[in-house]
Structure formats: structure tokens, C-alpha cells
Structure 1
Amino acid sequence: MPKGLYVHRIGVILFFVLAVLFLGQGVYMQAKAHFAQYLIEQAWQRTIKDQQPHKPWSWADTYPVAKLSFVEAGKGNESPDEHFDGDSMYVLEGASGRNLAFGPVQIQDGSIGKGNRNRIIAGHNDTHFSILEGVKRGKLIKLLDRNGIEVIYKVMETQIVHESDTRVLAPSSDKQLTLITCYPFHALRAGGPLRFVVHAEAVG
């Protein structure tokens, strides 16, 4: 076999091996994130009953603090009380990279008692917050906290900012919801400097 052809074949084999490894890692991350949501849901059900924090597994250093629900596609003009059983996820306490692997995390709780009502939640754009791709003004989002308080938010705008732009974390006297994820979506390499931000305000 000519040396050039041999080197070419080796290169092709290495390419496919690397592709399988990267694909396998992506599938593993997806499976871990979604299976974790099942365990987190069980902890959330216990929290709703007694309004106390419950770990989803014994060694966890986090617990669910809210349930985030998005209106079903094509139902943006419906009553805020309807059609929130489409895309739901549980928000975790503690904005660490480890917790982000299991679900969106609360960066700022926006509780009235602290005087800042801007609730900020971050998530990965290739798992739970992939739903933010293409989100439009007027979309409704429901947030149920562990005290049983439910708030409906309407998306007012979206923007793309640099990670150093801390204005998106600014406090607010109005009840707001800010969702943050990496940008662009479907990037070949994660961890870029841009962030996609959704700004929503409470309605009703």
C-alpha cells in the first residue's frame, strides 16, 4: 500500500474515532441532565408538601427552588392560566458549573424581602435552555417557587451581550425574570464570551 494512502486511511480512522467520542460525550451529557431532572422532580414534590429544601440525591449540594414552565408552541395568545404543561424544568439553588450540568440554576432569587425583584436563572444552551433559541417577545413563562407562589411572566425583549456586561444582573423594583444562556446556539465549542439574555416582566 502506498505510504500516502496508508496515512490517509489512518487519518480517516482517527477522525471517526474522535467523532464517536465527542458524540458519546454529548449523548452522555444529555442523558445525565434529563435523568437528573427526574430525581430533582421527586425532591421538588417533597418540597411542595412541606416547603423545605430537599436534596435530589444524598451527596447533592443543591436542591430545587422553583419550577419553570414555558407556554406550548403556537399558544402564545392563550390565557396565562392555560397550556403550561409543555416544556417544564426545575431550577436549582447554587450557580456552580456542577449544578448547571443537572439543570438551570438560580443566580439571584428576586425575593420581595430582599428589595430586589429581578429573578435571574442561567442554564446550558445545549440542554435545558435550548428552548430559548428563537424565543420571541410576548411568550409566556410561569415560575412556581417552593412556597407555592406562582408568577406569570411575559417576554419583553431578548439581547446578546458579552459575558463581562453585568447590567443584565442589575436589581429591579419591578417583578422581573431574566434568563441567561451561552451564545451562539449549536456552537462547535462551548464556553464562548457571548450570552443570550431573555428579559421578562410579571403580568396580571
Structure 2
Amino acid sequence: MFSLKTIENKYAGGALKLLLIILPIIGTLLIGQGLYIKAKASLAQVLLENAWQETIDTGQTTKAWSWADTFPVAAIEIPGRGDGRIIALDGSSGEALAFAPGHLHNTAEPGQIGTAIYAAHRDTHFAFLKDAIKGDAVEITDRKGTIHRYQVDNLRIAPWDQSGIITNLNDKRVALVTCWPFEAKTPGPLRYIVEGILIE
């Protein structure tokens, strides 16, 4: 005859077995999701690099994939920081920023008077900004293939709605913007801003 204690042990053992099956599955899914995001960003840069090269070669706007709602507009690099050049997309919509930095609409083009503003995620494309220092060169290549070299002259943290970036200056400037702090796992109100002035 089964006692109450035997029944409780039976159900507790079953719950433990179920838990031992479910936990590894959840862990695998979470790790897989993180790897998927990194892989998507890397693959997107390969496709964007091809579309960017075609844009420069032909002078025609080229989308990286047919259903994209944006297209490559510039290449960004801080020599010695990050993994080389990164292709930037037109606009800063959620879709654009999922794949690459975005060039904010109504801001200057590279080499033009005003401030060209580019935004990207802190854990993918602009992760290297945490190592940027004053004096670094920022190279922005435009759609004609011309390289515009800026020198970093300001690094700061500001609320997202009080960035202090002035776009209608007589200077030719660039601002690279990402979320801050870099190690955070959730969105926050602060932005890390790397600014530079055109030197070439």
C-alpha cells in the first residue's frame, strides 16, 4: 500500500526529472539566440560590403537584399579599432540598425558642412567605440568612393534626448552614437557620443 510520503516522493522525482530536461533546452535556446544575432550581423556585413562595392563601381544605389527598406550610404572605420570598415545604411530605423550603423536623415553627408550622424548598437557594430580616444582618425567613405578623414576631438555621455549634437554648424563634423554603458544588457536613456572634425 502506498503511503502519502511515497506519493509525494514519486511526484517530486518526476518534477525534478522534468526540470532536468527543460533547463538544458532553455539554456540552449538562449545561447542560440545570442549566436544568431551575432551571425546575422556578420552575414549582413558581407552582403552589405558587396552592395557597397557595387554602389561605388556603378554609381547606382544598390540594396544588399531585394526586400531591404534601406541601402548602403557610407563606410566607417577607425583605423586600429574594431575589425575594419563597417558599411552604414540610410536611416536609423529598427531594421537598419539591426544590420548596420544608420546615417540619420537630415544630417550632413560625409565631407559636407554640418554634422554627419551615425548610430549603431553598442554590442555589435559600434562596440569598438568604447576604445576610441581623442586624436583617433575616423574615416568615412562616401558613395563616390571619396574618403573623408575626421579627428576625434570629443567623447562624452549624454541623455538620448539631450545629445547636444549641433547639426547646423559651419564646420564639417561627424558624430558616432551608441547606447551607454557598453556592458549593460537592457536599453537605457544614455548615449555614448564620439565626435570629430574634418581634417582631410
Q: 1:22 aligns with which of 30, 49, 67?
A: 30
CA distance 1:111–1:88, change in 2 (3 Å): closer
Give the corresponding residue for 1:178: 175
Identify the match of residue 123 of structure 1 among 100, 120, 124.
120
Selected match of 1:43 from 36, 51, 55: 51
For the residues of structure 2 that align with 1:182 and 1:29, how far apart are their CA atoms?
Answer: 17
Residues 63 and 143 (structure 1), Cα distance of their counterparts in 2 relative to 1, 3 Å cut: same
The residue type paired with residue 193 of structure 1 is: P
User: Across the two proteins, how many residue pairs are aligned to each other?
Assistant: 191
Q: Counterpart of 1:110?
A: 108
* One-letter code aligned to 2:142: D
- Picking from 140, 143, 149, the partner of 2:137 is 140
Q: 1:112 to 1:143 in 2, by over 3 A?
A: closer
- Equivalent in 93, 117, 122 of residue 96 of structure 1: 93
Q: In the alignment, is the contact (CA less than 8 A) between 1:70 and 1:86 conserved in 2?
A: no
User: Please, what TM-score do these two structures have when normalized by structure 2?
Assistant: 0.83
Deviations 1:10-42 (A, max 9, x none): 667655544433322111111111101111111
Pairing 1:200–2:196 present: yes
Taking only aligned residues, the RMSD between alpha carbons, in angstroms, comes to: 2.6
Equivalent position amino acid for 1:162 in 2: P
In structure 1, what residue type is equivalent to 2:188? G
Question: Out of 60, 83, 106, which is 1:52 matched to?
Answer: 60
Offset from partner CA, 1:26-72 (integer Å, 9 cap, x none): 11111111101111111111110122211111111111011111211
Distance 1:112 1:183, change over 3 A: closer
Q: Is the Cα–Cα contact under 8 Å of residues 137 and 150 in structure 2 kept in the other structure?
A: yes
Contact 2:110 2:116 in 1 (8 A): no
Secondary structure of 2:194 counterpart: strand
CA distance in 2 between counterparts of 1:200 and 1:180 reads 12
Alpha-carbon offset, residue 123 of structure 1: 0.4
Q: Secondary structure at the match of 2:123?
A: coil
Counterpart secondary structure, 1:37: helix
TM, length-normalised to structure 1? 0.82
Distance 1:47 1:23, change over 3 A: same
Residue of structure 1 in register with 2:5 after alignment? none
Return the offset for 1:157: 1.6
Contact 1:69 1:88 in 2 (8 A): yes
